[in-house]
Amino acid sequence: MTALATGYSTIGGELAVGRLGFFFSRPVPWWAIWGGKLSASVLLTAAVGVATAVPWMSSSVAQPLRLDSLLDLPGAFFAAGLILLTVGLAHAASIAYGSRSGLVAADLALLAAWLWSLWAAGPLIIFGAMWVLFLDRSPHNYFQWPVALALLAASAVQVWAGRTDARRSHFALSATLWSLLFAGLGLVSGLGWRLLQTTPKDLGDVIWAAGAPRGDWMYVVGHVRGRIGSWYTPVLLYQAGSGRFVRLGIAGQATPPAFSGDGQQAALLKVEDWGSEGWSGARLYIADLASDRPSLRTVPLGIPPLPKTEPTLAFCPDGDCLLLAQDEALTLYDLPSGKSRWTAPSLRGRWVEPVVFLDRERLRAYRRWSDGTTSMVEIVTVRLRDGSQQPTGRLEVQESACLRSSTSGERLLVLHRRTPRGLPDARPLSKATLHDGVTGALLGSLAEAVMDIDADLLADGRIAVAEIQDRGARLRVLGRNGNEDRSIDLGPFREASLGGEPEPGRLFLGLGPCPVFLPGTQACETVLVDLESGHITREPGVSPARPLWHARVGLQELRPAAGSVGATLFRSADGRLVRLDPKGGTRQILLGGR
Amino acid sequence: MTGHGMRALLAIAARELRRRWMILPAGLLMGFMPLVAPRLGWKEGGDPVVGLALCLLMGP
């Protein structure tokens, strides 16, 4: 109130009624008039604020007044900026009002344009301002300062150039103010834009990475080095051999991409709008990785993705169509047109992963529903031509169970991760079962009552089961029908997850606990197991670069494809992306490092 | 920036303060409101948030 009153009256009010000539008629420099009046306004505002605070802060109503509460630097800095901003705004308003000129309309139009620019370039401005101010968090608490300083500078030019002429004063103030505000906005957002033009070499650490099933393109998420590193997690497609890359945006904005079978295309959805219940709009992007200059293009979709439900993408075997899987529906789009071929609603329940392309005519999908007591999974064959559904079987599963299918869809693994009710300290009791992939009939039990389990079908048809028991971690290799071939002790670990198969008959496993987001722990290690001899090669300090906690990597690929570049990608304890050579055991650092 | 100019600046600032000093005791008086309000029946008036809002209202 004081800031508004004094900011309005000290210069603008006196200019409007012609009393400012009293000062200019004397041998007083312009800056003394400007500085004297505005400093009095600022001083009065601060003093009134403190005077109002003293009685109640000194009493027992609030906490007693302490010197350090008055000298709290961030608080004082914030309040000083607020006072300057309010005084400056009131002053500018008084000059504009007092001039009675049509320039006020231009001021309002420029104000609207500036506010729109501020909104439109918001993220760029935040990153630019963080870099300029050496901040490691958003500078939104200090945004009043640049505007306040621009207002003060404009008021100085106004007093210097306008003197006692109200209209000339207004023009000088407006020209200076809007020049400074637009130039500042352009400079900071330009700097922010430059900071966001990340290349793979700018990554200080890699959070995770996944490779294409063929070729050497990979998907990388990491933090950049430098001041904005903890805030900015760029997402890139990267080809290690050539150094070529495609920027995909930032993590959280873009879904993990799905690669086509030949590794020449990648598809992802970018979120356009976020609402209170999740995202409400998304756009499909296709990356062409085969050309000399890999590029990202948007594809208009005939039917937009449904809102809220997290979407997952998968290319058809020939790469000429794309499946969008959501809980409520499967939708197949033709490529490159983006025209929708069909939508298969989930009818009752919801579609769950995985979806398996059986051939060029059919895919197999799984629909889960629960009636409150039992949870069922229905096995459905969907024709790619028209989306017609043919249920072929069903099986009863736990609510938290997850499914792993063979590439042919003939066999199905079910991982049950169960937590007994009423036993607060009980460890989860998990099990794995093998089923017929068409009818869902139980073929055999693979593991019972273990503390944790991971299992999958290997490229040669055998089954790998990594299980945790009281004694530690163990890898069991089973034949196609579930009969045990070999059991290998992995050591006293509490977590074990299956990694990729870099070569036939050799399997990587991640043993943990492993870090999820931040590098640092040495407790995590990787082992390369020779499935024929049972020989184990330990690789301490690295973990699979594609953690299993992120299920939405691609419908077909819960693990890296056998023999792919992704099967050899690991993250070191300090966050570097490392490629392990399964033959020589050498480590090649691909990205990261401070 | 000369000594004469600085003296003029201070004189102008002092003149402005003299003209508006009454706002200071007004602010001080308003500062007692969170103490007095609960005794006059407005219990929420004693909330520290009210005091803070009052400071911001009176100052900026």
DSSP string spanning A505-530? TEEEEEEES--SSS---SS-EEEEEE
Q: Name every residue whose Cβ is closer than 8 Å to that of residue A78 and which is 6 or more positions away in sequence.
A: A141, A142, A144
Res. A363 pLDDT band, cuts 50 70 90 = very high
Q: Where are the beta strands (DSSP E) in A398-555?
A: 402-405, 411-418, 429-436, 442-450, 452-457, 463-469, 472-478, 484-491, 495-498, 506-512, 525-530, 536-540, 542-544
Q: Name every residue whose Cβ is closer than 8 Å to that of residue A324 and which is 6 or more positions away in sequence.
A: A269, A305, A311, A312, A313, A330, A331, A332, A333
- Least confident segment among A45-49, A326-330, A398-402, A468-472: A398-402
Smallest CA–CA separation between A145 and chain B, in Å? 14
- Residue B27 has its nearest CB partner, among A10, A31, A51, at A51
Q: What are phi and psi of B55, to 5 degrees?
A: -60, -45
Alpha-carbon distance of A427 to A381, in angstroms, equals 37
Res. A549 pLDDT band, cuts 50 70 90 = very low
Q: Looking at the predicted structure, is the pLDDT value of residue B6 above 70?
A: yes
- Searching chain B, which residue's CA lies closest to the CA of residue A22? B12
Q: Name every residue whose Cβ is closer than 8 Å to that of residue B45 and which is 6 or more positions away in sequence.
A: B33, B34, B36, B37, B38
Is B53 part of the contact surface with chain A (CB cutoff 8 Å)?
A: no
Contact call for B59 and A29, based on CB within 8 A = no
Smallest CA–CA separation between A160 and chain B, in Å? 14
More confident residue, A361 or A371: A361
The 3-class secondary structure across A328-364, one letter per residue, is CEEEEEECCCCCEEEEEECCCCEEEEEEEECCCCEEE
What are the helix and strand counts (H, E) for chain B? 4, 0
Residue-wise pLDDT tens digits, A253-310: 788 889 999 999 999 988 877 666 666 778 899 999 998 899 999 998 877 777 767 7
Burial A372-388 (b: 16+ CB within 10 A, else e): eeebbbbbbbbebeebe
Mean pLDDT of A164-192: 90
Q: Looking at the predicted structure, is the pLDDT value of residue A142 above 90?
A: no
Q: Looking at the predicted structure, is the pLDDT value of residue A343 above 80?
A: yes
Alpha-carbon distance of A267 to A298, in angstroms, equals 10
User: How many CB pairs below 8 A link A and B?
Assistant: 131
Smallest CA–CA separation between B19 and chain A, in Å? 10
Q: Where are the beta strands (DSSP E) in A252-339?
A: 258-259, 265-275, 278-288, 295-299, 312-315, 321-325, 329-334
pLDDT at residue number A553: 42
Is B9 part of the contact surface with chain A (CB cutoff 8 Å)?
A: yes
Q: What are phi and psi of A580, to 5 degrees?
A: -95, 130
Q: Write out residues 11-40 of B within 8 Å (CB-CB) of A.
A: 11-17, 20, 23-28, 30-35
CA angle A581, A582, A583 (to 5 degrees): 90
Mean pLDDT of A149-164: 89
Q: Name every residue whose Cβ is closer than 8 Å to that of residue A75 and which is 6 or more positions away in sequence.
A: none
Is A41 part of the contact surface with chain B (CB cutoff 8 Å)?
A: yes
Computed over every residue of chain A, the mean pLDDT equals 84
* DSSP letter, residue A428: P
Indicate the pTM of the whole model: 0.73
- Residue B20 has its nearest CB partner, among A6, A23, A62, at A6
More confident residue, A66 or B39: B39
Q: Name every residue whose Cβ is closer than 8 Å to that of residue A195 and which is 6 or more positions away in sequence.
A: A127, A128, A131, A228, A232
* DSSP letter, residue A581: -
Asked whether the bond before A74 is cis by omega within 30 degrees of 0, the reply is no
pLDDT at residue number B48: 66
Residue-wise pLDDT tens digits, A239-255: 988 999 999 988 877 88
pLDDT at residue number A229: 65
Is A144 part of the contact surface with chain B (CB cutoff 8 Å)?
A: no
Alpha-carbon distance of A180 to A201, in angstroms, equals 35
> Nearest-CA neighbor of A417 among A398, A435, A433, A434?
A398
Is A64 part of the contact surface with chain B (CB cutoff 8 Å)?
A: no
- Residue B31 has its nearest CB partner, among A28, A56, A86, at A56
Q: Looking at the predicted structure, is the pLDDT value of residue A370 above 70?
A: yes
The separation between the first and the last C-alpha atoms of chain A, rounded to the nearest angstrom, is 50
Structure tokens at A409: 């869809």
Alpha-carbon distance of A236 to A210, in angstroms, equals 11
The separation between the first and the last C-alpha atoms of chain B, rounded to the nearest angstrom, is 29
**How are strands ordered across the β-sheet holding A402-405?**
A402-405, A411-418, A429-436, A442-450
Looking at beta carbons, which residues of chain B come within 8 Å of A3? 59-60
Smallest CA–CA separation between B16 and chain A, in Å? 6
Query: Which amino acid appears at position A192 of this protein?
Result: G
- Residue A83 has its nearest CB partner, among B20, B24, B60, at B60
Identify the sign of the CA torsion A101, A105, A106, A111: positive
Looking at beta carbons, which residues of chain B come within 8 Å of A55? 28, 31-32, 34-35
pLDDT at residue number A556: 46
- Residue B55 has its nearest CB partner, among A23, A49, A86, at A49
Is A57 part of the contact surface with chain B (CB cutoff 8 Å)?
A: yes
Long-range contacts of A327-335 (CB under 8 A, 24+ apart): A327/A351, A327/A352, A330/A355, A330/A365, A330/A382, A330/A387, A331/A303, A331/A305, A332/A384, A332/A387, A333/A284, A333/A299, A333/A301, A333/A302, A335/A286, A335/A299
Q: What was the ipTM of the complex prediction? A: 0.83
Is A65 part of the contact surface with chain B (CB cutoff 8 Å)?
A: no
Q: Are A115 and A182 in contact (CB under 8 A)?
A: no
Alpha-carbon distance of A211 to A220, in angstroms, equals 9
User: Which position has the token pair 């559904």?
Assistant: A389
Q: What are the CA-CA distances from residue A140 to residues A149, A194, A518 (Å)?
A: 16, 20, 26
Smallest CA–CA separation between A165 and chain B, in Å? 20
CA angle A418, A419, A420 (to 5 degrees): 115
- Searching chain A, which residue's CA lies closest to the CA of residue B44? A61
Q: Name every residue whose Cβ is closer than 8 Å to that of residue A373 and which is 6 or more positions away in sequence.
A: none
Is A112 part of the contact surface with chain B (CB cutoff 8 Å)?
A: no
Q: Write out residues 441-460 of A within 8 Å (CB-CB) of B.
A: none
